[in-house]
Amino acid sequence: MADSGPHAGEDDPEAVKRHPRLFRAVRQRKNPRLRRSDITVTDERAVKRAVKAASLGNAMEWFDFGIYSYLAVTLGHVFFPSGNDTVQLLSSFATFAVAFLVRPLGGMFFGPMGDRLGRKKVLALTMVMMALGTFCIGLIPSYASIGFWAPLLLILFRLVQGFSTGGEYGGASTFIAEYAPDKRRGFFGSFLELGTLLGYTGAAGLVTALYAVLDDGAMESWGWRIPFLVAGPLGFVGIYLRLKLDETPAFQKLEDGTSAHASEAADGVETSHKGDLAKIFRRYWPSLILCICLVGAYNITDYMLLSYMPTYLSDEMGYDESHGLLILIGVMVLLMLIINQVGKLSDRFGRKPLLMTGMISFFFLSIPSFLLVKQGSLLAVSAGMLMLGLSLVCLLGTMSAALPALFPTPVRYGSLSVGYNLSASLFGGTTPLVITGLIGLTGDDMMPAYYAMAAALVGVIAVACMKETAHRPLAGSPPSVETEEEAREILDAQSPDPKF
């Protein structure tokens, strides 16, 4: 008996040959022609305002977060009982990792909220929480003053930081991706990680200046408080910038879908649901797993270089804290100079080639890089860190355009926040703690290189499994272009209406 199911004709090449017009009409019915009203023509000034606000806000978030990692040794002395320096450092890094434990909860809370209420409102809220959490850390009395209440309060405000950060990256990357035109999403997305580097560089620069002008006693007495207290006013600047923006065009089309502003095809994908957490796990688990693997590989290498390396130089190599930070600042400044060019390359050649280059470079260059760092001379340490930095920038300049494209518009903020923060919690924030513990356990100071290689291997597999998304509209959104001419080209390129 012949199969009479809905796909029977599509599976029969002979039927397609006999009735080409009929099957062309069926395909047209399933994928209606785009109308001009479906295509978003971006306003370049609005895109640049959105990119600036999201990136500067992200810079301030990571300034707040970076302060802690660069002051890890000092904070260990201030907030934990005196005795073994390694135990104090481990305690400090454990508290650093605590913030990452609640990041998935923050992602699950803020992500669906951003899909339901809008991107900019939630991004402003996360900014408020991060600024308050960081400012309050600067007010906590030391362990010598209030005993175990000091580390408990530190953990409390680190939890506030971590919860707010759960809604930051997913929202900021979604915000930029939905504003940017399809052909330049990599370039504009790279500004988000430029903001991350700017925040880390600002934090490292301020901490380095404090180490240079204050002795250890002054730093542990009051100097460490200054960067945390500076974060409060900076946070409110970020809130102001974000609240001045309009909502993203993609989210506006999503909300207007019921008013028939989009075509039949756009309505079908854009108005189905807006943030159901259960549906994210049920429907998009393959993309979530891919996101977790990509972010895990990216975060381990990122936190190893940008957060842990100064501690490695001071704790394992005997470097002065300020010297290690100065080298890292030099590397980060160089990365900031080239990161937008990497974003442009991802627009030209695709996300996958750039991501694969970064992952393979980490796999093959981690051991040579750390062997150089272990030589101890300024030139060797700088060369080793630069090799790691150039590998990392291939990921930094590309990931913020690649990750939002994994999920459709109605669940993008929620899905990306959940996947990103689950992975960041498991692999990113624990990186300094795990590496310090592995070195203490094995006595092998090459452990950071081995850990980065393992992460890169997972990353290579993940990149191989992902689809190329450069030059394509975001899933669940109509095309986004820079000019009316591009919009007309897309309309003209569509296949003609079927004729009988």
DSSP-derived letter for residue 83 is S
Burial per residue of 220-236, b for 16 or more beta-carbon CB atoms within 10 angstroms, e otherwise: beebbbbbbebbbebbe
Is residue 429 a part of any domain in this protein? Answer: yes
Total domains, the chain:
1
Question: Nearest 5°: phi and psi at 40?
Answer: -90, 120
Q: Cα separation of 57 and 128, whole Å?
A: 11
Is residue 257 a part of any domain in this protein? Answer: no
Following DSSP, what letter does each residue of 37-69 receive, concatenated?
A: GGSEE--HHHHHHHHHHHHHHHHHHHHHHHHHH
Q: Cα separation of 15 and 398, whole Å?
A: 44
Of 459, 405, 392, whose CA–CA distance to 427 is shortest?
Answer: 459
Q: Is 480 helix (H, G, I), strand (E, B) or coil?
A: strand
Following DSSP, what letter does each residue of 283-294 receive, concatenated?
A: HSHHHHHHHHHH
Is residue 352 a part of any domain in this protein? Answer: yes
Would you give per-residue pLDDT tens digits along the chain (500 residues)? 444 444 444 446 666 666 666 655 555 555 566 666 667 777 788 888 888 888 887 787 778 777 877 787 788 888 877 766 667 777 777 777 777 788 888 888 888 887 777 777 788 888 888 888 888 988 999 888 888 888 889 888 888 888 888 888 888 888 888 888 888 999 999 999 898 889 888 888 888 888 888 887 888 888 889 988 887 787 777 777 777 777 777 677 666 653 334 343 434 444 443 446 777 888 888 999 999 999 999 889 888 887 788 778 887 777 776 777 788 888 989 999 999 999 999 999 999 999 999 999 999 999 999 999 888 888 998 999 999 999 999 999 999 899 999 988 888 888 888 888 888 888 876 787 788 888 888 888 889 899 999 999 999 999 999 999 888 888 877 788 777 777 777 777 775 554 43
In tens, the pLDDT along 284-339 reads 889 999 999 999 998 898 888 877 887 788 877 777 767 777 888 889 899 999 99
Per the CB < 8 A criterion, the answer to whether 298 and 420 are in contact is: no
159: tokens are 């939890």
The CATH number of whichever domain residue 82 belongs to comes to 1.20.1250.20
Per the CB < 8 A criterion, the answer to whether 130 and 237 are in contact is: no
Following DSSP, what letter does each residue of 198-219 receive, concatenated?
A: HHHHHHHHHHHHHHHHS-HHHI
209: CB partners within 8 A, 6+ apart? none
Q: Cα separation of 93 and 312, whole Å?
A: 13
Beta strand pairing status for 40-41 and 480-481? Answer: parallel
Of 91, 36, 97, 94, whose CA–CA distance to 65 is shortest?
Answer: 97
Tokens 């703690």 correspond to 433
Question: Nearest 5°: phi and psi at 41?
Answer: -100, 115
Q: Cα separation of 309 and 54, whole Å?
A: 27
For the whole model, what pTM was predicted?
A: 0.77
Of 266, 246, 242, 244, whose CA–CA distance to 256 is shortest?
Answer: 266
328: CB partners within 8 A, 6+ apart? 204, 305, 306, 309, 310, 385
Find the helix or strand (DSSP H, E) in which 21 lies.
helix 20-30
Burial per residue of 120-150, b for 16 or more beta-carbon CB atoms within 10 angstroms, e otherwise: bebbbbbbebbbbbbbbbbebebbeeeeeeb
411: tokens are 């669940």
Is residue 217 a part of any domain in this protein? Answer: yes
Q: Is 96 helix (H, G, I), strand (E, B) or coil?
A: helix
In tens, the pLDDT along 154-209 reads 888 888 888 888 888 888 888 888 888 888 999 999 999 898 889 888 888 888 88
Is the four-CA dihedral 141, 147, 149, 150 of positive or negative sign? positive
For the chain, how big is the Rg over CA atoms in Å? 24
Is residue 22 a part of any domain in this protein? Answer: no
Find the helix or strand (DSSP H, E) in which 481 lies.
strand 480-481
Whole domain around residue 413: which residue ranges? 40-247+282-487
Cβ atoms within 10 Å, residue 49: 16
Q: Cα separation of 347 and 38, whole Å?
A: 23
Is residue 312 a part of any domain in this protein? Answer: yes
Is residue 413 a part of any domain in this protein? Answer: yes
Beta strands of 128-249 (E only): which ranges? Answer: none
Q: Cα separation of 429 and 96, whole Å?
A: 7
Is residue 9 a part of any domain in this protein? Answer: no
Q: Is 71 helix (H, G, I), strand (E, B) or coil?
A: coil
Helices (H), 138-260: 143-146, 149-165, 168-179, 185-213, 216-218, 225-243, 249-256
194: tokens are 């430029």
Q: Cα separation of 485 and 390, whole Å?
A: 37
